[in-house]
Structure 1
Amino acid sequence: MVKRILLSLFLLVNSLYTFAQLPDAAGLKQLRKMQDSLQYLSQEIFSGKGNDGRLQATDDFIPLLVRALKVKHSFRFPFDSLKTVSILYPQDSAFRIFTWALEKENGFYRHYGAIQMKTPDGQLKLFPLFDASDFMTNTDTVTDNKSWYGCLYYNIIHKRYFNQDYYTLFGWDANNPRSQKKIAEMLTFKNGAPVFGGPFFSFVEDSVRKPTQNRFIIEYKKESTATLNYNKELNMIVYDHLISETNEPMKKFTYVSDMDYEGYKWQAGKWVHVNKIFNDAIPLGKGAPVPQPLIQKKKSMTNPKSVDDYQAEEGSNPGKKPAKKQR
């Protein structure tokens, strides 16, 4: 009985605290008005005509977003009408991360983003993210927000180890006209500032050990699809094993899924590689499957899909069980 009363009091206090963190009426009115302008600009960034128009929309969007976030207690305002901007909160709601992409006329992409921290007084604490991926000669590195590996995040997983918080980010980079990428990397905070990457992707249990990686990236054919995401049922990161469909392993734009799966399991504060997750491999002599083509008009900038997502939409599922397939 006492436990129930204490639990009820805790939930009541927590709900009152959450309510207290909402903007006041004037703040909400201001945020809704700015959200309308941000929605228009975000659509112009995504589908506006020409490089100049999309760049101008981006230049207008960023300062307006910052002004909106400066409204006290804006952290709880969802900005849910911004359909081409990914906005993710971790399970502990310690921060939220905004990311979006600008497609250039040459088929290459530039990414933008920001991390808004949750603050006790509702004042803005913001870390802008500057895409430095085009200038990275070594992608397996640890970076800060000023040299971010730009991508559009579609999931975030919170883990704790020895009282340290670890946030695994899953991102999509439309990359260029020939290939696309998916990225898994760890986000931590040092002295209150974000750190991207770190020695968290281990191959210690592999028969042939590879060096621990600071960031895990798969690159594959533009018209193909591939999985890289956290699978809640398995409590693992699951991703497609990729092969070159033309037997040219140096050309990443020829890579497609062979419908086999690898992964990582969380172990002692690291993601430890698992070479094979499912045992239902392709029958001998069947060869690699023809990749599901990516229909450009169906693409989503905030929800990149796996092959099973497309198959489910078409009402078929010739591969594995959907529950095992993650983006």
Structure 2
Amino acid sequence: MNRSLCFSLLIGVLSSAGLMPLQVSAQVQKITPGFRAALKMREDTLKEYSRQMVMAQEPAERFRYDSLFIRSFVRALQFTNSFYYPFDSVNISKLYAPDSAFRIFTWQAKKDEYVVMQRGAIQMRTPDGKLKLIPLHDQSMFTKNPMDSVRSNENWIGAIYYKIILKEYKGKKYYTLIGFDEFSVGSSKKWMEVLSFENGQPVFGNPAISFEDDEEKRKPQHRFSIEFKKEAKAFFNYDPELDLIIVDHLISETDEPARKNTYVPDGDYEAFKWKNGRWVHVTKFFNQKLKDGQFPTDAKILDDAGKADEQKLEEQSRKNYEKERKKNGGSPTPPSPIKKKP
């Protein structure tokens, strides 16, 4: 299967994670029959544009369809109450906030294996149904240290989002975004950052990623990411039953910690727990739930040469997750990880 088709399938998985909240679904009837029919016609066109901006063989063609898609999508969103129209068949990620205050669209434009840019926009829910759309401009290629800055929509750190988590602290709402980034020719990234709003405008990042409980103290970060080998699968998602963001712990399979394109899961997990308006890092979460010596070690994760066995690492990672969730009162089946393209 080629990379473009894999990406197309990925978007479908991501979009399925962003089903409309019930309060939004109940408002779909706000769209008049005439507008709904017009939006359906535009959706058919957008579906084809979104497919071609991924599947077209030449970069110039992909970017041409990307441009056509953006212009056509904005025109479609200008219909009154378009906020409630799901655009289910359009091949981009579409996520509604849990409180239905906004929805966020994200996708990527790919020149080649070395240049990948994210696109995005936030559509705000408005009382009169008129369009309020905030474009997101990916500036991550021009950023040396993305972890230490508050950002606006003009200098966004791009990602294809697949989860939004709503938390409140001292009367203010914070939306944590988790997303995927096809970062480089040899490695991929997954991102987490906190989105808030000031005077109706998005604010990406704040020093809410805390490592205060770690033995090795680190300064708070404005966002957090993991980087891992292109062919690996790394779990990074929110577990609503445990109320934790669960992250695969990564190791270098070649014992070269400076080379992120060698990182793979080792079967252990870290976590982040919301506490006093911050996501506080928990080292080896499941280990802390067990007595000494009880952590499962069903699979041998290193071969006789001391090299990581990736298949066993992935299997062990999932087994550990299932066992520890069951022991700690959660469902024995973990949420399905977002599968990245090979």
1:120-142 CA distance string (max 9 Å, x none): 00000010011111111111121
Equivalent residue in structure 2 for 1:156, among 147, 150, 164: 164
Equivalent residue in structure 2 for 1:212, among 214, 220, 229: 220
Alignment root-mean-square deviation, CA: 2.5
Separation in 2, partners of 1:265, 1:20: 35
Trace 1:28-43 onto structure 2 (pairs within 5 A). 28-43=36-51
**Counterpart amino acid of residue 188 in structure 2:** Q
1:5-55 CA distance string (max 9 Å, x none): xxxxxxxxx989954862211211111111011000000011111101100
Q: What displacement does 1:318 show?
A: 5.3
- 5+ residue gaps, structure 1, are 1-13, 294-305, 312-316
Residues 266, 314 of structure 2: 8 Å contact kept? no
Change (3 A) 1:257 1:119: same
**Counterpart amino acid of residue 106 in structure 1:** E
1:250-292 CA distance string (max 9 Å, x none): 1111111111100110101110110121133547975375224
**Counterpart amino acid of residue 185 in structure 1:** E
**Counterpart amino acid of residue 50 in structure 1:** E
**Counterpart amino acid of residue 252 in structure 1:** K
Trace 1:41-52 onto structure 2 (pairs within 5 A). 41-52=49-60
Residues 247, 270 of structure 2: 8 Å contact kept? yes
1:137 aligns with 2:147: no
TM-score for the superposition, normalised by structure 2: 0.80
Of the structure 1 ranges 106-115 and 86-95, higher mean CA displacement relative to structure 2 is found in 106-115
SS at match of 2:286: coil
Equivalent residue in structure 2 for 1:70, among 60, 78, 84: 78
Residues 98, 113 of structure 1: 8 Å contact kept? yes
1:198 aligns with 2:206: yes
SS at match of 1:323: coil
Q: What displacement does 1:320 show?
A: 3.8
Residues 138, 158 of structure 2: 8 Å contact kept? yes
Residues 115, 128 of structure 1: 8 Å contact kept? yes
**Counterpart amino acid of residue 61 in structure 1:** F
Provide the residue aligned with 1:323 in structure 2: 333
Equivalent residue in structure 2 for 1:117, among 124, 136, 140: 124
Provide the residue aligned with 2:327 in structure 1: none
Task: Count residues with an aligned counterpart.
Answer: 294
Separation in 1, partners of 2:165, 2:209: 15
Trace 1:223-242 onto structure 2 (pairs within 5 A). 223-242=231-250
Of the structure 1 ranges 206-215 and 180-189, higher mean CA displacement relative to structure 2 is found in 206-215
Provide the residue aligned with 2:103 in structure 1: 96
Percentage of identical aligned residues: 43
Separation in 2, partners of 1:15, 1:178: 42
Separation in 2, partners of 1:326, 1:259: 16
SS at match of 2:190: strand
Provide the residue aligned with 1:266 in structure 2: 274
- 5+ residue gaps, structure 2, are 1-21, 288-294, 323-331, 338-342
1:188 aligns with 2:196: yes
Separation in 2, partners of 1:325, 1:218: 19
